[in-house]
Amino acid sequence: MENWIPLTEKELKYAWKTFDQKFKLNPSISRFPGFQAPSPYITYDISAYFEDPSLLSADEDLEMKALLSFQENITGTDEYMQVLDWQHECYWITPYGSFEKDAFGDWRVPLFPNGDYFFFLSKEMNWACQDISVTIFGEGLIDSFTRHRPLLFQRKIREG
């Protein structure tokens, strides 16, 4: 199954317009998350990753548990979700497809925050996760991540 299919220009414009209307994206280097997450949501502080050497493989744990959570929320193996990468190329992906890694060990759009804004969304934009901290919203996705809790998800910053 093909993965990382670039959004067309029309799809890209529609996706960002819809996202901005629904979530009021306001990128910031000091306020996180940089969007208005709908209730219910949880935002996790992942700063421990940068401070604790025992968490060096936590990004792989996050990827594995995110895929499990995405698969629980996208039941059809032929169903795709959007990956919006602010100011970069955006894609359709399926959590059942291949997630090859680049020379740095990252997905084409990494799930682990690196100072940019990434959003992994259902087509209806019912749930998502990610910005500079990690925010998860939508009841189903929150339930899945609770069952498959990544090592990094130890400290909640806020929830609503």
pLDDT tens sequence across 1-35: 579 999 999 999 999 999 989 888 877 666 666 77
Rounded to two decimals, the pTM is 0.83
Residue 147: partners with Cβ closer than 8 Å, 6 or more residues away: 69
CA distances from 105 to 89, 114, 146 (A): 19, 13, 26
pLDDT value for 84: 93
- Say how many domains are in the chain: 1
Residue numbers of the domain that contains 13:
5-26+33-159
Question: Cβ-count burial of 54 within 10 angstroms (0-12 exposed, 13-18 middle, 19+ buried)?
Answer: exposed
> How large is the average pLDDT for residues 92-105?
89
The whole-angstrom separation of Cα 78 and Cα 76 is 5
Q: Which helix or strand (DSSP H or E) is residue 131 part of?
A: none
pLDDT tens sequence across 115-134: 778 889 987 777 666 666 78
Average pLDDT in the chain: 84
pLDDT tens sequence across 28-68: 666 666 778 888 988 888 877 777 777 767 888 889 999 99
